[in-house]
Amino acid sequence: MTLLAESLRTVLHVGCGMADPRKLPSAFFEPGSWREVRLDIDPGVAPDIIATITDMHAVADASVDAVWSAHNVEHLFAHEVPLALAEFRRVLRPEGFALITVPDLQRAAELVAQDQLAEPAYVSPAGPIAPLDMLYGHGAAIAAGNHFMAHRTGFTARTLDAALRGAGFGTVRVIRDNAFALWATAYVAPAA
């Protein structure tokens, strides 16, 4: 490994799917700063590490600078969420952080209350997304046989914050975006 590669910070991209650098948030594109390590349960996407997010034993304790999880945690059963978040925290260095995005079920529920359960709320690269998809998983993908896309739990800003704090993260910030998603940044260390 070269000196340059050794100076790179490592982002563990969990539930990475097929390799595509556009799947990383722009924060990880700073030239010469980040190295992506891809982890997925599906060997067909050729990840660097084959594992589940509830058991990442192949990743050493305190070995990565960041964990990036885009729409993975909602695919777990509620009782599995603490296991996954504890794994995220376990693999992070003391100054590390997790960046997590999940559907915002409070916003989805507002549309459901307006009787818009099946009406598209926004269009994703996978196609139109309705509150029904946010609650139960992307219907078109599930109908096509991708049962991993089923949602088994969900979050509001308050419950996501509580889950991350319960997993031992010292500093947590959860924000809503304009596309029906919650974004959480959770640092191992408490705020100074």
Asked whether the predicted pLDDT for residue 31 surpasses 50, the reply is yes
Gap between the Cα atoms of 36 and 121, Å rounded: 32
Gap between the Cα atoms of 20 and 2, Å rounded: 24
Query: Which pLDDT score is estimated for 28?
Result: 87
Which has the higher per-residue pLDDT, 4 or 104? 104
Asked whether the predicted pLDDT for residue 105 surpasses 60, the reply is yes
The Cα-based distances of 78 to 36, 84, 173 in angstroms read 28, 10, 21
Per-residue pLDDT tens over the stretch 109-141: 999 999 999 999 999 888 999 999 999 999 999
Query: Which pLDDT score is estimated for 30?
Result: 77
DSSP-assigned beta bridge partners for residue 99:
68, 185
Between the CA atoms of 73, 8, 34 and 86, what dihedral angle is there, to the nearest 10 degrees?
Answer: 10
Q: What percentage of the chain has pLDDT greater than the value 70?
A: 96
Gap between the Cα atoms of 141 and 71, Å rounded: 14
Query: What global pTM score does this model have?
Result: 0.92
Asked whether the predicted pLDDT for residue 168 surpasses 90, the reply is yes
Query: Which pLDDT score is estimated for 22?
Result: 84
Asked whether the predicted pLDDT for residue 189 surpasses 70, the reply is yes
Asked whether the predicted pLDDT for residue 4 surpasses 80, the reply is no
Asked whether the predicted pLDDT for residue 5 surpasses 70, the reply is no
* Average pLDDT of the residues in 156-161: 98
- Beta carbons within 8 Å of 140's beta carbon, 6+ residues apart: 126, 127
Closest CA to 148 of 79, 53, 59: 53
Q: Is 157 exposed, middle or buried (0-12, 13-18, 19+ CB in 10 A)?
A: middle
Q: Does domain 3-103+153-187 have CATH number 1.10.3720.10?
A: no
